[in-house]
Amino acid sequence: MGRVDFNDVKHETRTFAGVTVPVSVVPRFKRQAYPTRFLFSLKSLVDGMRLTFGYLVRPSTVVTRQYPENRATLKFPERYRASLKFKFDENGYQSCNGCGSCERACPNGSIILETRKGATGKNEIERYIWRMDSCVLCNACVEACSFGSLEMSHDFENAVYDRRLLVYTLNRYAGPTANVLLKEENLEAREAMMTKIDAYGGQVPMNGYALPTVAALGTPREKAATDGKGEAS
């Protein structure tokens, strides 16, 4: 067991092919005699054991987070990604206009967008379906969105007993973006442009909606296999 003593490192300048450069000269690694190595290795073993014993006798060194107990005080890194979420402004209006960038950016088709022609003739979102069961949380959709409508939230407690509960509807209403809505001064006219959908609040189970491969909740699987398309219940 030999060690390089960094106090012995010499700093000097040397000339190579006419160029003078600063160099650090490290002393050659010297292998010690057998008894020294033997004692050194014994000492290193004892050092290690002393360290672990220190951890054992001091319970304050526990570093793991005790999850269900510390639920109220959980802290996450800022860029921690647990589930996809829509951004809403202070009025509760979305900025998503259904352009479909996220749908195209999604590597495995976890985002399904359904759009409609709005009252103003513009494209607007009808249903924004996010399939958490196939999502890999790669963040590509958030980066692809030109309008900043999406974000990754820290809601990580997403375990459910039915796979179909992992299909979320992210938008709260089918209708135009905040920009379009705010141009209309009349509140009632604004309301008329929007069709309410259950608010996004965690486990919103497709709202009775069915996908080609996923039957709506409450539909028997046999029945779902035959007519599993479109609005089910």
Q: Which residues bind other proteins (CB under 8 A)?
A: 45, 48-49, 51-53, 55-56, 59, 61-64, 66
Smallest gap from Cβ 154 to other proteins, in A, equals: 24
Closest listed residue to residue 202, CA positions, set 83, 89, 109:
83
Q: Rounded to the nearest 5°, which phi and psi values hold at 115?
A: -120, 165
Burial code of 31-47, b = ≥16 C-beta within 10 A, e = fewer?
eeeeeeeeeeeeeeeee
Q: By C-beta, is 25 or 45 nearer to other proteins? A: 45
- DSSP SS3 for 55: helix
The DSSP bridge pattern shows strands 111-117 and 195-196 to be unpaired
Smallest gap from Cβ 55 to other proteins, in A, equals: 5
Q: By C-beta, is 61 or 91 nearer to other proteins? A: 61
Smallest gap from Cβ 64 to other proteins, in A, equals: 5
Smallest gap from Cβ 94 to other proteins, in A, equals: 42
Separation of alpha carbons 147 and 93, rounded Å? 13
Q: Rounded to the nearest 5°, which phi and psi values hold at 221?
A: -65, -35
Q: By C-beta, is 1 or 23 nearer to other proteins? A: 1
Q: By C-beta, is 51 or 119 nearer to other proteins? A: 51
Smallest gap from Cβ 30 to other proteins, in A, equals: 22
Q: By C-beta, is 31 or 221 nearer to other proteins? A: 31
CB 197 within 8 A of CB 174: yes
Tokens of 128: 């924004």
